[in-house]
């Protein structure tokens, strides 16, 4: 399913040569199975009964292998609000300059992807503005702790082939701050795509979105190549993460947590804290630890 439109859904069918977008409703029998959790979400693989040339009914939802989800707002009891079903990875795009990269925001993105068990790749765009050496001085530390970083430029073509290979045959959440060139990168990956600048909305834009539904855009290489536009993801924030759990989503900290003296250590003031000791020993970057402290306090 590629898009939700209220009680109707766009479904791309690909069986028996029937490759089209059908506008579908959920069949009554399936509705009877509804719980508080999301019944059908963008990214779901569904079974469709055709109705005419371009319509149909959804009568089956296949099990999901991964979700990008949150606690459904306004519910007294726990309920899962699935924003995107079956994503394979997240591509987090930042610019090397214009706009200036704010790495604490990148840390926030990465915490969210870790929390959702979503593999993340960092793409540093606009490399032509600063050069590789300066870009690596900023983003190289993320490579050092285990994240893949792609250095790219739509002006020189650097990194475009690597992005093409990364995106092929999978569902990718493409995200990042405003103005970093997400749509321009995708146009460079496939020049006939013609995405307008800003077509992919911000993962954590400050403005309010009128919908929290996702939308999948098909890229014309590979049978299952999609990128996801996910308005409303900012509402995920860190709201579902308990303060005592936050450090587990900093991949450079989690190996030290079991060695802390106290269970539930916040790594701020407790004695015999292995995380603080690792910071002091240069094993954890001070900037990452500072990001952790600021996120723990709820700072943007």
Q: How far apart are CA 72 and CA 59, in angstroms?
A: 24
β-pair partners for 150: 123
Q: How far apart are CA 285 and CA 278, in angstroms?
A: 9
**Residue 73 is assigned to a structural domain of this protein:** no
Place of tokens 């999901």: 64
Q: How far apart are CA 237 and CA 90, in angstroms?
A: 16
Q: What token pair was written down for 168?
A: 């092929």
Q: How far apart are CA 50 and CA 39, in angstroms?
A: 20
In this structure, are 108 and 160 located in the same domain? Answer: yes
Q: Give per-residue pLDDT as tens, 166-175.
A: 999 999 998 8
Helix/strand/coil for 220: coil
| N residues, the chain | 300
Q: Read off the pTM.
A: 0.83
Q: How far apart are CA 155 and CA 126, in angstroms?
A: 8
In this structure, are 172 and 122 located in the same domain? Answer: yes
Q: How far apart are CA 170 and CA 90, in angstroms?
A: 11
**Residues of the domain holding 14:** 3-63
Identify the CATH number of the domain in which residue 160 sits.
3.40.50.300
**Residue 224 is assigned to a structural domain of this protein:** yes
Q: Give per-residue pLDDT as tens, 33-52.
A: 666 667 899 999 999 999 99
In this structure, are 225 and 265 located in the same domain? Answer: no
Identify the CATH number of the domain in which residue 266 sits.
1.10.40.50
**Residue 156 is assigned to a structural domain of this protein:** yes
Positions in the chain short of pLDDT 70: 15-18, 33-37, 71-79, 193-213, 230-240, 300
**Residue 169 is assigned to a structural domain of this protein:** yes
CB-count exposure of residue 227 (10 Å: 0-12, 13-18, 19+): buried
**Residue 49 is assigned to a structural domain of this protein:** yes
- For residue 206, the model assigns a pLDDT of 43
Identify the CATH number of the domain in which residue 11 sits.
2.40.50.140
- For residue 36, the model assigns a pLDDT of 61
- For residue 295, the model assigns a pLDDT of 92
Q: How far apart are CA 4 and CA 56, in angstroms?
A: 14
- For residue 218, the model assigns a pLDDT of 85
In this structure, are 231 and 213 located in the same domain? Answer: yes
- For residue 276, the model assigns a pLDDT of 98
Please, where are the H alpha helices in 174-272? Answer: 182-189
**Residue 79 is assigned to a structural domain of this protein:** no
**Residue 252 is assigned to a structural domain of this protein:** yes
Domain count, the chain: 3
In this structure, are 247 and 232 located in the same domain? Answer: no
């Amino acid at each position: 399913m590629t898009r939700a439109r209220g009680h109707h859904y766009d479904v791309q069918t690909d069986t028996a040569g029937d490759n089209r977008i059908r506008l579908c409703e959920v069949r009554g029998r399936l509705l009877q199975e509804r719980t508080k959790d999301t019944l059908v979400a963008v990214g779901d693989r569904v079974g469709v009964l055709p109705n005419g040339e371009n319509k149909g009914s959804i009568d089956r939802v296949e099990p999901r292998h991964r979700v990008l989800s949150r606690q459904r707002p306004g519910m007294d009891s726990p309920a899962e609000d699935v924003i995107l079903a079956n994503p394979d990875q997240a591509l987090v795009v930042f610019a090397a300059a214009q706009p200036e990269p704010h790495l604490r925001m990148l840390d926030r993105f990465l915490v969210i992807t870790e929390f959702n068990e979503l593999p993340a790749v960092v793409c540093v765009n606009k490399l032509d503005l600063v050069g590789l050496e300066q870009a690596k001085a900023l983003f190289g530390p993320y490579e050092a702790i285990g994240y893949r970083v792609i250095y790219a430029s739509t002006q020189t073509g650097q990194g475009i082939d690597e992005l093409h290979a990364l995106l092929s045959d999978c569902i990718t959440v493409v995200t990042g701050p405003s103005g970093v060139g997400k749509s321009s990168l995708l146009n460079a990956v496939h020049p006939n795509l013609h995405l307008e600048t800003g077509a992919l909305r911000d993962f954590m834009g400050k403005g309010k979105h009128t919908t929290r539904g996702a939308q999948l855009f098909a890229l014309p290489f590979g049978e299952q190549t999609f990128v996801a536009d996910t308005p409303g993801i900012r509402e995920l924030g860190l709201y579902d993460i308990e303060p005592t759990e936050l450090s587990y989503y900093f991949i450079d900290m989690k190996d030290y947590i079991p060695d802390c003296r106290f269970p539930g250590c916040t790594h701020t003031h407790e004695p015999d804290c292995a995380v603080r000791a690792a910071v002091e020993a240069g094993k954890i970057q001070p900037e990452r630890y500072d990001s952790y402290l600021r996120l723990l306090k709820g700072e943007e």
